């Protein structure tokens, strides 16, 4: 799951799972490695970013404060990050999610990885309201959708915004073109 806008790209390690199951999920270091490695490849192929720069959020507040607020970053994320770097993935972190999306970092990094759904969607929807696209990478087909829900509460109100839907088609076409280019290179 990659959330795309012109302002920021954010991906999540987990999707719609309860917060109390996150640590159990991320204990699977091979799975986390593969998800991040696949994201890196998607950034290269689908978004035509030759050398993607990725930032990853921590799990705990302040990314664990070097073990003072939890050891998940030290025990689970850092070994995966180290292995990714050895395999030529440019990834930094883990960073505190509360400061990761500042203007300086948004200029420095092509994509941000958050550990869980709301850690990603809250900043995404604040940074780019009504225009974001949800893209499912690593599929043989191109799947995009608006980053918001169905908005049943807006039916017959004339308040709906269709920009995210329009952007979904624009990004799908861009990804298609990039895949074609990369296929023949």
Please, what CATH class does the domain formed by 2-131 belong to? Answer: alpha beta
3-class secondary structure, 57: strand
pTM, entire model: 0.92
Domain boundaries, the chain: 2-131
pLDDT of 185 higher than 80: no
The per-residue pLDDT for 153 is 80
Query: What would the pLDDT profile of 49-88 be if each residue is shown by its tens digit?
Result: 999 999 999 998 898 898 899 899 999 999 999 999 999 9
The per-residue pLDDT for 5 is 94
Q: What are phi and psi of 11, to 5 degrees?
A: -125, 160
* CA dihedral (143, 146, 152, 155) positive or negative: negative
Q: How many CA atoms lie within 13 A of 130 on its CB side?
A: 6
């Amino acid at each position: 799951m990659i959330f795309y806008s012109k302002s920021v790209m954010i991906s999540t390690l987990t999707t719609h799972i309860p917060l109390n199951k996150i640590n159990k999920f991320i204990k699977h270091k091979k799975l986390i490695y593969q998800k991040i490695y696949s994201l890196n490849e998607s950034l290269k192929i689908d978004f035509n970013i030759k050398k993607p720069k990725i930032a990853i959020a921590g799990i705990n507040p302040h990314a664990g404060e070097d073990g003072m607020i939890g050891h998940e970053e030290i025990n689970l994320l850092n070994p995966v990050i180290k292995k990714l770097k050895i395999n030529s993935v440019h990834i930094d972190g883990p960073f505190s999610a509360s400061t990761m999306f500042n203007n300086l970092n948004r200029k420095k990094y092509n994509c941000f990885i958050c550990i869980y759904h709301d850690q990603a969607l809250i900043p995404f929807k604040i940074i780019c309201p009504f225009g974001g696209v949800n893209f499912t990478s690593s599929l043989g087909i191109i799947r995009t959708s608006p980053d918001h829900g169905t908005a049943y509460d807006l039916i017959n109100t004339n308040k709906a915004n269709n920009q995210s839907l329009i952007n979904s088609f624009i990004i799908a076409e861009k990804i298609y073109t990039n895949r074609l280019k990369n296929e023949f290179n």
